[in-house]
């Protein structure tokens, strides 16, 4: 049996607007920009909903209905759910239906898509619990598998997940860690007994997520036939293919006119047409086989950039200062017992914020700059610190 474990990550941050120092202590609405403003969460959410969420969910639902053995896993951040509840509640209903068929598994993570694990483990725990509660209340299920923000993984996190009773955890199948080993097996994290480790097959995942529409790619255009061929070849190194990618790959990173939707629809059909092929959820994948080996990642590995580390989020002084300041305020913020204040503060922990302060490739004006909601990393930091000033003011005047 050959299995594909398709896992999609669905997320939108709640962006702070260009919050001026002249508004500090006068106006504490950081997250509502003018509808047509650069950081308008509503406009961006509605745009991506039209381009990606709606058509892709429709495609997935269609396949769930027509193929009882089509399955996938989904991680949904709390910040996405908060926004969907306001601007596109029908999307949540659609996911609810798919979860009820048993063909879709929801993966656990932090509510706020944060990097809290690396700063404050208590806060991390709290955010994971908040997320689990939200998932339970909306979909009636409890996540069995865990993924950390940006797939940031290390041995310590695996230990934490095992203690929490998770069945499995997701990470990047990075060559430097795997060496000669293949990502197409189930592994066990070093130092754990029951926890299973699923590793992203980044080549086959990125063929779809990044390269699909790249005309300079020697393999462009990617056809289903060609892709299936590659899968057949890759299955010689193990029968479990972990395709992990952003949900927005479909429609937002790869636009509709690239043919990405047709490709995916056709691919699901063709894959299932062969008798010993199937799709599995992440939990099912963990049970497919006994672990092939123990894998240790003492250093943090992520799914981003060629470095696969946290340097896009936590490298420069601005990012460090911003995150350090945020987490150092925690006990005071929580002690205030002011729910609005606590939520405003937690929205700031989202990893997209330090990402927008990344100067690593800023001068080249590449992908980091292209996807940023701010005019520059420096401006992003400036407005972030203004929000912090106002939070401090609110604390002081409580």
Partner 1 sequence: MLGWELPPHNSGGLGVACYNMAKALSKEGANIEFVIPYEDKETKYEFMQVMPATNLEPIYRYGNGAYESYLIDAKMIPSSNQELLSIRDIQKLYYDYVEKHLQESHPDVVHAHDWLTYEAGILAKKEFGLPLIAHVHATEYDRAGMQRGNPLIHEIEYEGLMMADRIIAVSETTKRIIHEKYHIPLSKIEVIYNSLDEDYEDGDYQFADDAYRSIKKLESEGYTIISTVGRFTIQKGLQNLMRAASLAIKKNPKLLFVFAGNGEEFNELVALSAELGIAKNVVFTGFIRGTKLRDIYTITDIFVMSSISEPFGLTALEAAHHGDALILTKQSGVSEIIWSAMKYDFWDQKKLAEEILAIASSDTLKNTLKDNVRNEYRQISWDKVAKKCLKVYNKIIKHKGIN
Residue 10: how many CB atoms within 10 A of its CB?
Answer: 21
Contacts of 125 by beta carbon, 8 Å cutoff, 6+ apart: none
Residue 150 a catalytic site member? yes
Q: Report how far residue 393's alpha carbon sits from residue 115's, in angstroms, rounded to the nearest whole number.
A: 25
| Identity of the residue, 154 or 386, whose beta carbon is nearer to partner 1 in the bound complex | 386
Task: Find the shortest distance in angstroms from Cβ 48 to partner 1.
Answer: 27
CB 286 within 8 A of CB 168: yes
Cβ-based nearer residue to partner 1, 38 or 167: 38
Quick one: which of 44, 4, 43, 48 has its CA closest to 246? 48
Phi, psi of 106 (to 5 degrees): -100, 135
- Least distance from partner 1 to the Cβ atom of residue 116, Å: 21
Q: What residues pair up with 76 in beta bridges, in sequence order?
A: 10
Smallest separation (angstroms) from partner 1 to the CB of 28: 17
Cβ 80 to partner 1 shortest distance, Å: 30
Question: For residues 336 and 168, what is the distance between their CA atoms, to the nearest angstrom?
Answer: 36
Residues 79/45, Cβ–Cβ less than 8 Å: no
CB of 35 to partner 1, least distance (A): 21
Which of 123, 150, 162, 172 is catalytic? The answer is 150
Residues 6+ apart with CB under 8 A from 387: 16, 19, 30, 348
Nearer Cβ to partner 1 (128/369): 369
Say if CB 372 and CB 356 are below 8 A apart: yes
Pairwise CA distance, residues 10 & 38, whole Å: 21
Cβ distance to partner 1 smaller for residue 22 or 35:
22
Residues making contact with partner 1 (CB under 8 A): 20-22, 316-318, 320-321, 359, 362-363, 365, 375-376, 378-379, 381-382, 385-386
Q: Which is nearer to partner 1, 19 or 45 (CB)?
A: 19
| Active site members | 150
């Amino acid at each position: 049996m050959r299995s594909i474990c398709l896992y999609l990550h669905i997320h939108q941050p709640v962006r702070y607007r260009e919050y001026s120092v002249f508004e500090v202590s006068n106006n504490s609405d950081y997250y509502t920009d003018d509808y047509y403003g650069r950081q308008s969460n509503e406009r961006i959410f509605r745009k991506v909903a039209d381009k990606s969420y709606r058509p892709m969910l429709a495609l997935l639902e269609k396949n769930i209905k027509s193929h009882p053995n089509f399955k996938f896993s989904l991680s949904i951040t709390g910040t996405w759910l908060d926004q969907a509840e306001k601007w596109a509640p029908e999307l949540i209903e659609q996911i609810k239906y798919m979860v009820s068929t048993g063909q879709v598994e929801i993966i656990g993570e932090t509510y706020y898509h944060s990097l809290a694990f690396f700063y404050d483990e208590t806060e991390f725990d709290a955010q994971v619990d908040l997320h689990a509660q939200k998932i339970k209340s909306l979909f009636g299920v409890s996540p069995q598998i865990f993924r950390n923000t940006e797939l940031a993984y290390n041995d310590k996190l695996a230990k934490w997940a095992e203690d929490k009773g998770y069945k499995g955890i997701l990470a990047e199948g990075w060559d430097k860690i795997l060496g000669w080993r293949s990502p197409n097996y189930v592994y066990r994290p070093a130092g754990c007994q029951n926890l299973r480790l699923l590793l992203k097959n980044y080549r086959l995942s990125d063929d779809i997520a990044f390269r699909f529409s790249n005309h300079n790619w020697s393999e462009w255009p990617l056809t289903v036939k060609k892709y299936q061929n590659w899968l057949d070849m890759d299955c010689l190194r193990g029968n479990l293919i972990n395709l992990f990618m952003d949900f927005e790959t479909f429609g937002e990173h790869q636009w509709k006119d690239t043919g990405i939707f047709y490709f995916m629809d056709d691919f699901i059909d063709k894959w299932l047409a062969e008798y010993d092929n199937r799709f599995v959820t992440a939990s099912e994948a963990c049970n497919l086989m006994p672990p092939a080996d123990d894998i240790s990642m003492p250093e943090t590995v992520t799914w981003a950039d060629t470095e696969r580390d946290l340097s896009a989020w936590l490298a420069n002084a601005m990012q460090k200062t911003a995150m350090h300041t945020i987490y150092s305020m925690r006990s005071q913020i929580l002690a205030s017992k002011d729910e609005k204040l606590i939520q405003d503060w937690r929205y700031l922990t989202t990893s997209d914020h330090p990402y927008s302060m990344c100067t690593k490739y800023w001068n080249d004006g590449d992908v980091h700059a292209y996807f940023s909601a701010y005019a520059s990393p420096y401006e992003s930091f400036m407005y972030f610190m203004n929000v912090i000033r106002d939070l401090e003011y609110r604390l002081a005047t409580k």
